[in-house]
Amino acid sequence: MRVEHLTVEGFRNLSGVDLPLGRRFVVVSGDNAQGKTNLVGAIYLLATLKPLRGHRTRDLIGWEADRAVVSAGVSHDDFVRQYRIELEGSKRTLTLDSSAVRDLEPYFRGIRAVSFTPSDAQIVTSEPKIRRAWLDRAAFTARPSHLYIVRRYARLLEQKSAALRTHSSGAVLDVFDEQLAVAGADLITRRLDILDELAGPVAQVHDRVAGQPEQLVMRYRTRVQGDDTAARADSMRQLLGDSRADEVRRQRTLVGPHLDDVRMELDAHAARSFGSQGQVRSIVLALKLGELLAAHERGDQPLFLFDDVSSELDASRTGRLVELLSEVDAQVFATTTDPSQLRAFPAADTCQLRVSGGSVVATDV
């Protein structure tokens, strides 16, 4: 898939952006605080309906604007579709080829993105919640229906929490536990599947970018046992039953995939505790490029949004990155304060954009 054309209006400091793109590589350069991250953030919003970093959706609307609009012509299988998102107050309006979007699955089938930003180091170094979110996002990018699995489980958890807080009867809690066991086992199976799919490509990219022979291994950590979904549901039923008294006292669900983690190890040592900054960067790059490679093996080509190449990579890693990116079909957006760093992208297949004070112009035409 490829963004052929992009317009942005009233999105953070960007307005009047109207760009033909189309090429494989898009280099977005400019000084600090000009709007580079905002430009990839606009594309990320269109592809995922989420802000790129921890921003609240309403903070995405420009201070001087009533509404933010991002729209793009995205080609997929030789066929261009028009994606558009509009934010106004707390309201979000989505259209696909000028029709209101009711079902998100077909929408997400035609536009997907993998992002890599400096704050992604947190995936390795921060608390388990961030790793669960990373894994669920990767599963969602691979199979958009994952969104519904995550939402269903989260809704059940919330309902059960309310039941625990209001001292509902054991029979009511039994009903929630049964539903949680089924939904939770399903979620765990899907997370294990995506982790399995990513393991090979991530290790392969890590070998190539790290420049050192450490082996990266990812392990899903859960108290729920079992080799298939049915066995995992049984295990969850058992664990939930055993925890009932504790749960009633603490008014929280104490078992399930909302508490799981992914342990990342370099040569059997936990990267979270022992990884150096450089090692952490290599792992995160491997996670993100591995996702792209896995997508490539599946026959998908999500957009790759790489924010702030300059702060993330030295020259030799940038070289290896460009080499790797040339092997997958994904369209790549890379922001940098120093475009000479990305000279290795083939000129004939690269759009050069310059961002200044919220305006964006193509400099290679």
Binding site for Mg ion (CB under 5 A): 37
Q: Measured from the CB of residue 16, what is the shortest distance to ligand ATP in angstroms?
A: 13
Burial class from Cβ neighbours inside 10 Å (0-12, 13-18, 19+) for residue 122 reads middle
What does 238 bind: ligand ATP, Mg ion, none (CB cut-off 5 to 8 Å by kind)?
none
What does 38 bind: ligand ATP, Mg ion, none (CB cut-off 5 to 8 Å by kind)?
ligand ATP
Cα–Cα dist 113/332, whole Å: 10
Between 92 and 298, whose beta carbon lies closer to ligand ATP? 92
* Binding test (CB under 6 A) with ligand ATP, winner from 12, 190, 191, 237: 12
* Binding test (CB under 6 A) with ligand ATP, winner from 19, 35, 173, 322: 35
Q: How many other CB atoms sit within 10 Å of the CB of residue 51?
A: 16
Q: Is 43 in contact with 305 (CB distance < 8 Å)?
A: yes
Q: Would you call 7 helix, strand, or coil by DSSP?
A: strand
Q: Tokens 């799981």 map to which residue?
A: 260
* Binding test (CB under 6 A) with ligand ATP, winner from 37, 141, 243, 331: 37
Total residues binding ligand ATP (CB under 6 A): 16
x-or-dash string of contact with ligand ATP, 43-72, rule CB under 6 A:
----------------x--xx---------
63-99 as b/e, with b when 16 or more CB fall inside 10 Å? Answer: eebeebbbbbbbbeeeeebebbbbbeeeeeebebeee
Q: Which residues pair with 25 in a beta bridge?
A: 332, 350
Among residues 160, 134, 63, 107, the alpha carbon closest in space to that of 288 is found at 134
x-or-dash string of contact with ligand ATP, 263-302, rule CB under 6 A:
----------------------------------------
C-alpha triplet 124, 128, 132: angle, nearest 5°: 90
Q: Measured from the CB of residue 32, what is the shortest distance to ligand ATP in angstroms?
A: 3
Between 256 and 358, whose beta carbon lies closer to Mg ion? 358
- Please state the length of the chain: 365
Q: Measured from the CB of residue 240, what is the shortest distance to Mg ion in angstroms?
A: 44
Residues 334 to 353 in contact with ligand ATP, rule: CB under 6 A: 337
Q: Which spans of this chain sit near ligand ATP (rule: CB under 6 A)?
A: 12-13, 30, 32-38, 59, 62-63, 308, 337, 355
